[in-house]
């Protein structure tokens, strides 16, 4: 059965759409293939289809692949509208003339400014989603947990949040840019400096997901193709997990420092509860090998990673529809 209550978690890397009673109904890369034609923007495809389109031989030579959202901010408004419209068309059942309007929760980073909130609301209105509720990601995650006070960290592709959440909302928290992209930038710089090889951020991400690990036992290697930065010729080199581990640990270690700072701002009376509950760590990056052990060794507090951590935010936000009164108070 389809309901009209949905959640949208639109990040840099992927967009997750979930529906009450069904769970995740759509998950695709947050990209759109478009071409700028004077003042007009021509749409070709969104998500996986956009990636496929960009690899076709007869694609429009002016077509570019755009990530409309980065760091919790809508960077390309027109592209975001085209992307979200197409995602909704593909994800939701066809609506009749008298179908009720979808009720929408859109998740946002906890440091989102008032201007950015307004921007996001306008964007949702333009794709036909009026009066959305914006929910900070740590609140969404907290609703999946049984304890009253929780330390929540979400680590995404372009923005990460750390917050202590209680029954009436966020007690203290912030958004930071230590994230998957920060590691990928370091990988690009490393291979350029050490091998004179130019690779894209997407290639660096692929390499990190394939062989990146926080555990010393998991040693792997992979070939990576790119352009020689000296003579522009294509060539490839072999990179090992050992080489990229320092870049991963440096970013996650800085993030651990942020977790420490946020916990230091926790009012004393909540400390025992928060400590007993441990850290809930989610976002796509949490699926990486050895993340929980690394954070535990660094912070000496239990680290819980839910299954499918890239879906936790959307699944958590869905709980709003089951417990509106309690969750309204948290926003």
Ligand X SMILES: Nc1ncnc2c1ncn2[C@@H]1O[C@H](COP(=O)(O)OP(=O)(O)OP(=O)(O)O)[C@@H](O)[C@H]1O
Note the residues at the interface with ligand X (CB under 6 A): 11-14, 30, 156-159, 179-180, 205, 209, 283-285, 287-288, 310
| Closer Cβ to ligand X, 102 or 288, answer by number | 288
Q: What's the CA gap between 107 and 244, in Å, rounded?
A: 31
Cβ contact 123:80 at 8 Å? yes
Near Mg ion by CB under 5 A: residue from 5, 8, 11, 68: 11
Report residue 168: phi and psi, to 5°.
-110, 15
| Closer Cβ to Mg ion, 156 or 309, answer by number | 156
| Closer Cβ to Mg ion, 150 or 181, answer by number | 181
Q: How far is the CB of 72 from ligand X (least distance, A)?
A: 6
The interface partner of residue 244, options being ligand X, Mg ion, none and the CB cut-off 5 to 8 Å by kind, is none
What is the size of the binding site for Mg ion (CB under 5 A)?
A: 2
Other C-beta atoms lying within 10 Å of the C-beta of residue 229: 13
Q: How far is the CB of 21 from ligand X (least distance, A)?
A: 23
Helix (H) or strand (E) holding 55: helix 47-55
CA distances from 63 to 43, 79, 300 (A): 9, 12, 49
Q: How far is the CB of 250 from ligand X (least distance, A)?
A: 15
Instruction: Answer yes or no whether residue 288 interacts with Mg ion by CB under 5 A.
Output: no
**What does the block give as tokens for 84?**
């979200």
Q: How far is the CB of 197 from Mg ion (least distance, A)?
A: 30
CA distances from 99 to 25, 84, 95, 129, 192 (A): 19, 20, 6, 13, 54
Q: What's the CA gap between 89 and 92, in Å, rounded?
A: 6
**Can you give 94-122 as a three-state secondary structure string?**
CCCCCCCCCEEEEEECCCCCHHHHHHHHH
Q: How far is the CB of 179 from ligand X (least distance, A)?
A: 5
The interface partner of residue 213, options being Mg ion, ligand X, none and the CB cut-off 5 to 8 Å by kind, is none
The interface partner of residue 165, options being Mg ion, ligand X, none and the CB cut-off 5 to 8 Å by kind, is none
Q: How far is the CB of 286 from Mg ion (least distance, A)?
A: 11
| Closer Cβ to ligand X, 13 or 142, answer by number | 13
Cβ contact 117:133 at 8 Å? no
| Closer Cβ to ligand X, 30 or 270, answer by number | 30
Share in percent of the chain as helix, strand, coil (round to 5)? 40, 30, 30
| Closer Cβ to ligand X, 176 or 330, answer by number | 176
Contact positions vs Mg ion (CB under 5 A): 11, 156
């Amino acid at each position: 059965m389809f309901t009209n209550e949905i959640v949208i978690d639109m990040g840099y890397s992927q967009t997750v759409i979930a529906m009450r009673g069904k769970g995740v109904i759509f998950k695709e890369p947050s990209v759109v293939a478009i071409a700028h034609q004077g003042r007009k923007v021509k749409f070709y495809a969104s998500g996986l289809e956009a990636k496929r389109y960009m690899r076709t031989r007869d694609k429009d030579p002016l077509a570019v692949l755009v990530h409309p959202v980065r760091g919790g901010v809508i960077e390309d408004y027109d592209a975001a509208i085209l992307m979200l419209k197409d995602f909704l068309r593909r994800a939701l059942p066809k609506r009749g003339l008298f179908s009720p309007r979808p009720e929408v929760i859109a998740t946002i980073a906890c440091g989102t400014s008032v201007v950015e909130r307004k921007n996001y609301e306008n964007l949702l209105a333009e794709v036909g989603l009026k009066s959305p509720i914006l929910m900070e990601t740590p609140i969404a995650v907290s609703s999946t947990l049984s304890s009253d006070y929780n330390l929540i960290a979400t680590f995404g592709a372009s923005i990460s949040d750390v917050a202590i959440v209680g029954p009436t909302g966020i007690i203290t928290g912030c958004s930071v840019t230590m994230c998957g992209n920060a590691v990928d930038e370091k990988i690009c710089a490393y291979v350029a400096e050490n091998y004179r090889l130019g690779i894209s951020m997407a290639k660096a991400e692929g390499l990190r997901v394939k062989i990146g690990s926080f555990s010393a036992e998991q040693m792997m290697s992979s070939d990576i193709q790119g352009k020689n930065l000296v003579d522009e010729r294509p060539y490839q080199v072999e990179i090992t997990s050992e080489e990229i581990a320092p870049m991963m640990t440096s970013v996650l270690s800085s993030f651990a420092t942020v977790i420490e700072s946020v916990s230091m701002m926790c009012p004393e009376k909540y400390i025992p509860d928060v400590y007993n509950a441990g850290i809930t760590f989610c976002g796509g990056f949490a699926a990486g090998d050895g993340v929980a052990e690394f954070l535990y060794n660094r912070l000496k507090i239990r680290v819980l990673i839910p299954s499918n951590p890239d879906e936790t935010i959307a699944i958590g936000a869905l709980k709003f529809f089951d417990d509106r009164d309690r969750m309204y108070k948290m926003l």
